[in-house]
């Protein structure tokens, strides 16, 4: 009787309650330029809701839309279910299903994922682009990885430098990971997790030839973890052939990524360099009247602040050789070319970017000077 | 077997995961001065979580702490349970229990409440300070109200001007409400709900001698509904004999409240006036050298912007007679008293405050001028 | 010899020094809508430079451009020349000549003026649109006024409530002013001077049928007096038949002005009302689905914050009846029209505006509701 | 007759006009820590008023107070007097005398100076701490320098890379400068002038053993040149034995300076390093529970943003190795020391600081970790 009564009420009220509009605004979209044959997709491949140990039911999609992301993966802990007394839902795909429904009128891609959750040395690992999370619920971690691989998943090691599993804050590669890598069951590694960058994780990614990732691992609110502090959420920029789940999976496995977290950009040199090259546009280069000094405007076309040091053969006329170009900012620079030239090479070291520990890329732009 | 395995893992991981700190900051605390024998308690008596139709599991306490509230009531819809397929928890007190646990190290009072949810003309009604929500789950609304009253609840009519139940946006008093009021089963009425103020609800509150309330009725995030838009959440200021659940219940039933929403303050004249009188402190009143003009500083001691018009017998020397004194702002004013006086009456109309539709309180401060 | 040498150097260096660019930016332009047959011209008719007791040589034009003004008057004290030991220039038109030269590539109108400067009861008075300031330098104030009138000047009484000349902060009309008014030698009165508004000066303007003015009377920097404090400079809005010196003079003498200082607007009802009416545009009025409630957007088309109180026959659905619409801000309002109507009257009292002491204009807009 | 009349009026009005208060506010004070036996004095040794080609009469002192400076030098062009038709004052010390009078109630030191102004190759040169500017007005530049030296002046070469005198933007050392240096008549060189930094000028300073300076060379308003653009004025930090004119002169001649312009700091290694070392304070270093990771807080004690790159033997646990510590900002860092230590060396490269072209100082702090 009560059930029927409740059902009736639900029906009655659902229309009413839907009328209450809970809109919101934001000015924090993340965006980076495309380059070459690639679309640059902003993704966050690690997050939680009430369906494992997160604090929210259904706002991950709204958060991602506010942040201008292209794709998110729902990655509940498979085995860690602290809310199970209240939410005994047996289907480990539930968070994904809800997010998919919520995103139905948007361009945002929703990726089915799951977090295989163990203590050290196995640690936490995300499998994304899976087909069914339930089938991955295995007693032995090895079996879970194998199942994920069989489902076509891209699998990565989460926060390998997490102090709860490594008191020195260092990633420790065990036989388990070595075996997974060998078996093609571990493809990537988080070098940034919830704001924490580990240089040693980057070194390991390069050494083991793993995909470089940054994720938010958000449990509470993006607002509280990042926006309210003036920070942007960590994202993995993926250079994909198109905006599709298949293309994303392909690109991730092909290691075409840059991890981005505020002014910090980390990636393989071959992707980091064109990303930054294309993040700067150069405008209106011309000789200042009566001088051998070129005036030009640099515009930062991406949503990260970029820190540069001039490494050109030519010095600047006014600005400091070290400068910050904020997200989407335009700044005018003057370059002493010593003689009038039709074009010259502007060379900047990107101090906030790393292609290896302590290694900054140095970028070159050929600047054409107006007659 | 799986159950045991999961339990074991949960145990193992819970320690680890607790180490991940999700701190946050805020600069939005709501505060109003005490006056007379009363403590002014900031309360939000209407909110939702996943245990009815809200979007969050457990962040209402954190939000309230960020907002500097003294008390919140957890008021899930009793009968409207759109998440019940996922969260079949039979205990309607569950959201309260979780919030109580979350608040255990804080001064924040958690009030057990429940929303009796029906279509028009009964509408939605909150009962707070109840003993057991489950016992209120009755087929007939009358029985739910009676049960709430028997539990000692303070009961109020939610958003009576809600367009989903009143297409003209007007509260319509039906026989149902008249009967509840007569029976002592309906004590208050929301004049502000989720940012919506209805003058007609205020008129009804005064006509029916009901307690005046403002609530957020938050389903999503306080951040998205208010803070990100530069707004404060609506609160009911309760003038209680002490900070305790019993004192709050007593004060609410005694109608000692002011509804506050940004620069809008609504309440009975006897409480609205002392609240505003005590929200202004006057400093350093003295005659400017060689003049019959008093210079003094007004400080807004509360977190709402206050809009005033000078209604003194004396005009201002420089400022406009209509002015905004922002939250916690100090401003200097000059008053032409025409002759030197030891004290004079400063009289201001509070244009953002209402003790009845279109009725602003006019406040008087006796200003003592320094020799 | 030295003179020649200096001249040579001057010539040599002038080219060089001109190359040093001292540009600057600002986001503080003052703008108000035109109405009827009039252009609304923003003017500041009272200011000083080193040629009397000001602190600057030549930046009044730049300041005015930054503020978006249409016209300024250079009004050095005729008789008060504290820098005369350093600047013995005998020509009282010098500041005007310099400003005119500086403004030559801009639309800004430069008005030749002069301040006739005496103690009480004559006080300080500006004559603008004069032909030659030098001829106004007379021992007797009466002669200076007559000369100004003969030159076609518009003449106004400066800061009549100035405490240095009236310890009560009240304007005191003496026989001198009465005579000048009678003779057509005094046309206007400052009701706002350097941020100081006197209601009694407004009363006097109305009683004596004088033009209402607001001026900055800037001696130092507009930045320090206003912008750095978040304030706008006072301006006299003049409703002129065209943008020309002659049209300005005609409009001022015809008393077609509003004094504007931040959110304070003071003027004759016949000009204040159309100014505010045209400062609000109404967009997209339509009935919210399933309701008798009109949703519409108000846009403040001027650079002053406007404070309103709803005086319509209809109440608002959500907003407070008292609200601030900031400069250029858009806000959405919901109006309960109780039944569906093709159009209705929106009536707002402009609380920051005065057409007489304590008198606010009430404005009506006929709102057409979309089908 | 007129003269007497004017004098009388001046007397009469001076009291009145003084009552008009032109106050202002600012939040831009420049401050750097003292170190060793030195007081760090912030100075601007190059500025102009109406007494040569500046735009203002008397506001340089107010500007300097708003900026928190310790000393300013009044340095009018000796020979370039474009306002001389209006201001034929024969005394080249006049701007200094006025500033001295204006500063009489403040701690700000006013330095008598003068700008010897010639075309290339001599260029513009400031002599400060002179006794009488008039005596420096010589036909031959050599004579002016000799006179300045004889008066005890500290003499420096202004904007040697100024494009109006060097179309390549390079300082060109001529026989004239070589001779002056040899004769002890040229002690310093501006490496920053009005926002323009030239690395080649720094190279020249080091090569020729000259004092390194930064000056604003302000002609208009500090507000327009810097503050309104979010910039700080350039200053020369002087490390003096006490706050006095004599000590300043001594320190400048001893080359104890750092040129500071926003996040750019330029100076000799022996002064730049202790300045930055003392600009960072380290707080609350302790091991995070259960880890070998030290958490500590860095505070920037100066008014310049500082850009650092971690060069310690230890990596950071969370932050990027490249980071900006804004003026007066505190930030928490985590350092992986790999084992528990009582103290360790924190080593940071200051990327915005230069002790030679392209050379950043690397600073070391010994951090004691709490038990």
Q: What is the per-residue pLDDT across D315-338, written as a single tens digit (0 to 9) for each?
A: 999 889 999 999 999 999 999 999
> Is the preceding peptide bond at C121 cis, omega within 30 degrees of 0?
yes
pLDDT for C289 equals 95
> Within a 13 Å sphere around the CA of B350, how many CA atoms are in the beta-carbon half?
29
Residues of C in contact with D15 (CB under 8 A): 164
Considering Cα of A85, then A86, then A90, then A96, what sign does the dihedral take?
Answer: negative
Burial class (CB in 10 A: 0-12, 13-18, 19+), B142: middle
Cα gap A245→A151, rounded to integer Å? 14
pLDDT band at B28 (very low <50, low <70, confident <90, very high): confident
| pTM given for the model | 0.91
Q: Is residue B75 scored above 60 in pLDDT?
A: yes
Mean pLDDT score of chain D: 92
pLDDT for A24 equals 35
Q: Are B76 and B48 in contact (CB under 8 A)?
A: yes
> Is the preceding peptide bond at B121 cis, omega within 30 degrees of 0?
yes
Nearest CA in chain D to C59: D55
Work out the minimum CA distance from D209 to partner chain A, whole angstroms: 22
pLDDT for D58 equals 86
> Within a 13 Å sphere around the CA of B164, how many CA atoms are in the beta-carbon half?
17
Residue C166 sits at the vertex; the CA angle it makes with C165 and C169, to the nearest 5 degrees, is: 130
Q: In the complex, which subunits touch D with 3 or more CB pairs below 8 angstroms?
A: A, C
Q: Are B141 and B121 in contact (CB under 8 A)?
A: no
Of B2, B19, B117, the CB nearest to A163: B19
Cα gap D281→D299, rounded to integer Å? 5
Residues of A in contact with B57 (CB under 8 A): 50, 54-57, 83
3-state helix, strand, coil in chain C (%, to 5): 25, 30, 45
The secondary element (H helix, E strand) that includes residue D271 is helix D269-279
Report the complex ipTM.
Answer: 0.90
pLDDT tens-digit series, residues C99-152: 999 999 999 999 999 999 999 999 999 999 999 999 999 999 999 999 999 999
pLDDT tens-digit series, residues A167-225: 999 999 999 999 999 999 999 999 999 978 999 999 999 999 999 999 999 999 999 99
> Within a 13 Å sphere around the CA of A143, how many CA atoms are in the beta-carbon half?
7
Work out the minimum CA distance from C281 to partner chain D, whole angstroms: 32
Q: Is residue C44 scored above 70 in pLDDT?
A: yes
Mean pLDDT score of chain B: 92
The residue count of chain B comes to 371
pLDDT for B154 equals 98
What residues form DSSP beta bridges with A296?
Answer: A333
Q: In the complex, which subunits touch B with 3 or more CB pairs below 8 angstroms?
A: A, C
Q: How far is CA C319 from CA A222, B172, B188, B269, B303, in A?
A: 29, 20, 21, 21, 19
> Is the preceding peptide bond at D121 cis, omega within 30 degrees of 0?
yes
Show me where the domains of chain B are located.
25-262, 275-368
pLDDT for A256 equals 98
% residues pLDDT > 70 (chain B): 93
pLDDT for A28 equals 76
Task: State the CATH architecture for B25-262.
Answer: Alpha-Beta Barrel (3.20)
Nearest CA in chain B to A84: B87
Q: Are B347 and B282 in contact (CB under 8 A)?
A: no
Q: How far is CA A241 from CA A37, A245, A246, A249, in A?
A: 7, 11, 9, 10
End-to-end CA distance of chain B: 86
CATH topology of domain B275-368: Immunoglobulin-like (2.60.40)
Cα gap A298→A308, rounded to integer Å? 12
DSSP helix/strand/coil, A309: strand
DSSP helix/strand/coil, D128: strand
CATH number among 3.40.50.1580, 1.10.730.10, 3.20.20.140, 1.10.3720.10, domain D26-262? 3.20.20.140
How many beta-carbon pairs under 8 angstroms link A with D? 109
Residue to test with chain C: of D1, D224, D226, most C Cβ within 10 A: D224
Q: Are D286 and D370 in contact (CB under 8 A)?
A: yes
Cβ separation B19–A164 shorter than 8 A: yes
3-state helix, strand, coil in chain B (%, to 5): 25, 30, 45
Work out the minimum CA distance from A37 to partner chain D, whole angstroms: 30
Nearest CA in chain D to A199: D315
> Within a 13 Å sphere around the CA of A95, how many CA atoms are in the beta-carbon half?
34
Work out the minimum CA distance from C14 to partner chain D, whole angstroms: 8
Q: Are B133 and B126 in contact (CB under 8 A)?
A: no
pLDDT tens-digit series, residues C200-254: 999 999 999 999 999 999 999 999 999 999 999 999 999 999 999 999 999 999 9
Pairing of strands B39-44, B71-74: parallel
Q: Is residue D148 scored above 60 in pLDDT?
A: yes
The torsion angles phi and psi of A332, rounded to 5 degrees, stand at -100, 135
Q: Are D212 and D271 in contact (CB under 8 A)?
A: no
Q: Is residue C19 scored above 50 in pLDDT?
A: no
Cβ separation C315–B163 shorter than 8 A: no
Crossing angle (nearest 10°) for helices A175-182 and A141-150: 20
Cβ separation C322–B307 shorter than 8 A: yes
Residue A166 sits at the vertex; the CA angle it makes with A165 and A168, to the nearest 5 degrees, is: 155
Work out the minimum CA distance from A308 to partner chain D, whole angstroms: 10
The secondary element (H helix, E strand) that includes residue B278 is helix B269-279
What residues form DSSP beta bridges with B353?
Answer: B265
Cα gap B44→B64, rounded to integer Å? 8
CB atoms within 10 A of CB D50: 28
pLDDT band at A9 (very low <50, low <70, confident <90, very high): very low
pLDDT tens-digit series, residues D55-81: 999 899 999 999 999 999 999 999 999
CATH number of C280-368: 2.60.40
Cα gap D111→C222, rounded to integer Å? 28
Cα gap D47→D236, rounded to integer Å? 13
Distance of CA B355 to the CA centre of its chain: 16
Question: Comparing C-alpha atoms, which of A310, A215, A205 is closest to residue A267?
Answer: A205
The long-range contacts involving A225-230, CB below 8 angstroms and separated by at least 24 positions, are A225/A194, A225/A195, A225/B22, A225/B24, A226/A195, A227/A26, A227/A28, A228/B24, A228/B25, A228/B26, A228/B223, A229/B24, A229/B25
């Amino acid at each position: 009787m009560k059930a029927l009564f409740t059902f009736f009420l639900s029906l009655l009220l659902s229309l009413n309650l839907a009328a209450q509009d809970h809109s919101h605004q934001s000015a924090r979209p993340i965006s980076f330029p495309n380059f070459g044959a690639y679309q640059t997709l902003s993704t966050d491949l690690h997050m939680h809701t009430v369906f494992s140990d997160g604090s929210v039911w259904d706002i991950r999609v709204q958060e991602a839309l506010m942040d201008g992301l292209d794709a998110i993966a729902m990655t509940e802990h498979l085995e860690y279910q602290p809310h199970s007394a209240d939410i005994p839902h047996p289907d480990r795909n539930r968070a994904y299903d809800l997010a998919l429904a919520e995103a139905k009128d948007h361009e945002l891609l929703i990726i089915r994922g799951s977090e295989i959750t163990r203590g050290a040395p196995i640690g936490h690992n995300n499998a994304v682009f899976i087909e069914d999370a339930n089938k991955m619920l295995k007693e032995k971690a090895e079996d879970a990885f194998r199942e994920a691989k069989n489902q076509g998943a891209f699998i990565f090691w989460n926060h390998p430098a997490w102090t709860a599993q490594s008191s020195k804050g260092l990633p420790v590669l065990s036989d388990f990971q070595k075996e997974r890598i060998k078996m093609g069951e571990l493809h990537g590694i988080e070098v940034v997790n919830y704001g924490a960058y580990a240089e040693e994780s980057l070194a390991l990614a390069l050494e083991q030839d793993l995909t470089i990732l940054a994720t938010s691992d958000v449990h509470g609110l993006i607002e509280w973890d990042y926006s309210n502090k003036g920070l942007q959420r960590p994202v993995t920029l993926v250079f994909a052939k198109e905006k599709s789940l298949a293309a994303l999976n392909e690109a991730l496995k092909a290691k075409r990524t840059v991890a981005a977290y505020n002014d910090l950009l980390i990636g393989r040199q071959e992707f980091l360099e064109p990303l930054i090259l294309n993040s700067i546009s150069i405008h209106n280069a011309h000789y200042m009247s009566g001088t051998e000094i070129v005036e030009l405007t640099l515009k930062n076309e991406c949503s990260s602040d970029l820190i540069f040091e001039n490494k050109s053969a030519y010095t600047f006329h006014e600005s400091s050789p070290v400068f910050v170009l904020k997200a989407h900012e335009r700044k005018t620079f003057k370059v002493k070319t010593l003689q009038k030239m039709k074009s010259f090479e502007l060379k900047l070291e990107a101090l906030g970017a790393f292609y290896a520990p302590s290694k900054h890329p140095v970028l070159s732009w050929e600047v054409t000077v107006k007659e």
